[in-house]
């Protein structure tokens, strides 16, 4: 075989080998840069206002991904009233080494969330997910879409002085956020097969079968710097509040305590950056709703007796009960217990023609 023939035979393999070596050098160069950047960020500000700390790190995924695993992770943000933090036993971040900027985040083990109360103490919530994944899609250097999907999650309030049985579980919880070109941000949230512990005094019992919420943020252009990672969250929220931004929720659908609820609401931020406003809902079947409410430990005993009598009377009526019942939740909820207040609307014959159940923090029955 002549030299020229051998050249044609081996040249493609040599070129392929050269490309593989070049790509391998590129991957290890980027991986080393990621490792060095993580080392620099450890115990320092990762994005404005948020400090990252971790005990161990690993970078892998060769050849087509970058896989970052962090153990003993803490993300914390400090404000005037105290620190808000997320602590995780282990998190992993995955990204392809080519193509679009899509990042996958997984959290494993015990997750602890803490945030300050008005009296200076901390609310502490411990959550253990079966599977917890999130994805972030970045366009032109800014977060365009964010999704969270958690399966088989359970949690417990372990704050100092927390009441017994303040726990919960759910088969699935999801949150989706999408920035849109019309200066709004779409929101979809859902919860499936949830159980609420008696320590939370659930209004319609422990069985929350399904919740789905659709909505959008107005004036969402004030979140642009936050999505680009160049602004402190509280500054972006303050700009959004001053611009009159609102969170419009419509529809809100829930299956709770054997009754179906449909609702809507409009919320805004108050000066302390708590969501404030009113969420209202009505039950599709008033009789089943009254039955669930009559069993609620949130309701005072005398009011439960009234509800039970009213339900028995309504259930004995022929046909379908046609009486307007409205639930209202007045936000924000503070640290005081949330207590419902029942208000019966009466007609000329002194019989109830409607009922409003208002939930607010610290309400007096």
pLDDT digits (tens, 9 = 90+) for 166-181: 999 999 999 999 999 9
Q: Identify whether 50 is part of a domain.
A: yes
Q: Does residue 10 register a pLDDT over 80?
A: no
Please list, in sequence order, all residues whose beta carbon lies within 8 angstroms of the beta carbon of residue 208, skipping any fewer than 6 positions away.
191, 194, 195, 196, 202, 254, 255, 256, 257
Distances (CA, A) of 92 to 75, 146, 154, 164, 207: 14, 16, 20, 33, 33
Q: Identify whether 220 is part of a domain.
A: yes
Distances (CA, A) of 143 to 42, 102, 205, 361: 23, 10, 38, 35
Q: Identify whether 188 is part of a domain.
A: yes
In this structure, is the dihedral angle defined by the CA atoms of residues 97, 147, 159 and 41, taken in order, positive or negative? Answer: positive
Query: Who has greater pLDDT, 286 or 261?
Result: 261
Identify the CA nearest to 69 among candidates 88, 89, 53, 92.
92
Q: Residue 83's domain spans which residues? A: 42-242
Query: Who has greater pLDDT, 245 or 96?
Result: 245
Beta bridge partners of 167: 156
pLDDT at residue 52 in the model: 96
* pLDDT, mean of residues 311-334: 67
Which of these ranges, 168-172, 212-216, 281-285, has the smallest mean pLDDT? 281-285
CA distance 253 to 243: 29
Q: Identify whether 200 is part of a domain.
A: yes
Q: Does residue 296 register a pLDDT over 70?
A: yes
Q: Identify whether 85 is part of a domain.
A: yes
Structure tokens, 91:
């998190």
Q: Identify whether 336 is part of a domain.
A: no
Q: Does residue 141 register a pLDDT over 50?
A: yes
Q: Does residue 290 register a pLDDT over 90?
A: no
For 61: left if phi > 0, alpha if psi spans -120 to 50, otherwise beta; the answer is left
Structure tokens, 362:
């610290």
In which band, very low, low, confident or very high, does the pLDDT at 312 lie, cut at 50, 70 and 90? confident
Number of structural domains found in the chain: 1
* pLDDT, mean of residues 307-326: 64
Q: Does residue 264 register a pLDDT over 60?
A: yes
Question: Which position has the token pair 């252009």?
Answer: 221
Q: Output DSSP code: residue 199.
A: G
CA distance 363 to 340: 7
Please list, in sequence order, all residues whose beta carbon lies within 8 angstroms of the beta carbon of residue 145, skipping any fewer than 6 positions away.
135, 136, 137, 176, 177, 178, 179
Pairing of strands 352-361, 338-346: antiparallel
Q: Identify whether 280 is part of a domain.
A: no
Task: Compute and round to an integer the Cα radius of gyration of the chain.
Answer: 27
Q: Does the pTM of the predicted model rise above 0.75? A: yes
* pLDDT, mean of residues 270-291: 86
pLDDT at residue 324 in the model: 72
In three-state secondary structure terms, 120 is: coil
Q: Identify whether 77 is part of a domain.
A: yes
Q: Does residue 113 register a pLDDT over 90?
A: yes
Q: Does residue 365 register a pLDDT over 50?
A: no
pLDDT at residue 79 in the model: 78
In three-state secondary structure terms, 337 is: coil
Q: Angle at the Cα of 338 (from 335 to 340), degrees rounded to 5?
A: 160
* pLDDT, mean of residues 86-98: 93
Q: Does residue 351 register a pLDDT over 80?
A: no
pLDDT at residue 363 in the model: 45
Q: Does residue 345 register a pLDDT over 50?
A: yes
pLDDT at residue 201 in the model: 83
Q: Does residue 350 register a pLDDT over 50?
A: no
Q: Does residue 268 register a pLDDT over 70?
A: yes
pLDDT at residue 318 in the model: 53
In which band, very low, low, confident or very high, does the pLDDT at 308 lie, cut at 50, 70 and 90? confident
Give the count of alpha carbons within 13 A of 153, CB side only: 27
pLDDT at residue 78 in the model: 85
């Amino acid at each position: 075989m002549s030299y020229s023939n051998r050249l044609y035979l081996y040249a493609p393999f040599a070129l392929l080998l050269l490309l593989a070596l070049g790509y391998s050098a590129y991957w290890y160069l980027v991986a080393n840069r990621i490792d060095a950047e993580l080392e620099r960020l450890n115990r320092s500000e990762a994005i404005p206002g948020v400090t990252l700390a971790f005990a161990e790190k690993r970078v892998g995924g060769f050849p087509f991904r970058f896989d970052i695993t962090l153990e003993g992770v803490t993300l914390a943000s400090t404000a005037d009233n105290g620190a808000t933090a997320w602590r995780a036993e282990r998190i992993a971040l995955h990204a392809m080494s080519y193509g679009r900027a899509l990042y996958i985040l997984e959290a494993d083990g015990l997750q602890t969330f803490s945030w300050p109360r008005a009296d200076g103490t901390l609310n502490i919530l411990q959550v253990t997910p079966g599977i917890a994944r999130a994805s972030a899609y970045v366009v032109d250097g800014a977060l365009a879409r964010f999704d969270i999907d958690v399966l088989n999650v359970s949690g417990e309030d372990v704050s100092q002085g927390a009441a017994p049985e303040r726990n919960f579980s759910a088969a699935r919880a999801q949150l989706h956020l999408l920035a849109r070109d019309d200066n709004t941000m779409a929101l979809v949230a859902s919860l499936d097969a949830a159980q609420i512990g008696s320590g939370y005094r659930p209004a319609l019992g422990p069985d929350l079968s399904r919740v789905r919420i659709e909505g959008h943020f107005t004036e969402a252009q004030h979140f642009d710097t936050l999505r680009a990672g160049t602004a402190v969250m509280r500054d972006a929220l303050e700009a959004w509040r001053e611009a009159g931004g609102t969170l419009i929720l419509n529809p809100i659908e829930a299956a709770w305590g054997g009754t179906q609820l449909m609702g809507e609401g409009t919320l805004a931020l108050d000066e302390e950056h708590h969501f404030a406003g009113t969420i209202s809902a009505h039950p599709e079947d008033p009789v089943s709703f009254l039955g669930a409410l009559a069993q609620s430990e949130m309701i005072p005993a005398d009011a439960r007796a009234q509800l039970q009598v009213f339900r028995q009377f309504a259930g004995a009526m022929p046909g379908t009960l046609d009486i307007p019942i409205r639930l209202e939740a007045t936000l924000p909820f503070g640290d005081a217990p949330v207590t419902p207040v029942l208000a019966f609307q009466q007609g000329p014959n002194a019989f109830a023609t409607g009922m409003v159940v208002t939930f607010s923090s610290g309400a007096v029955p």
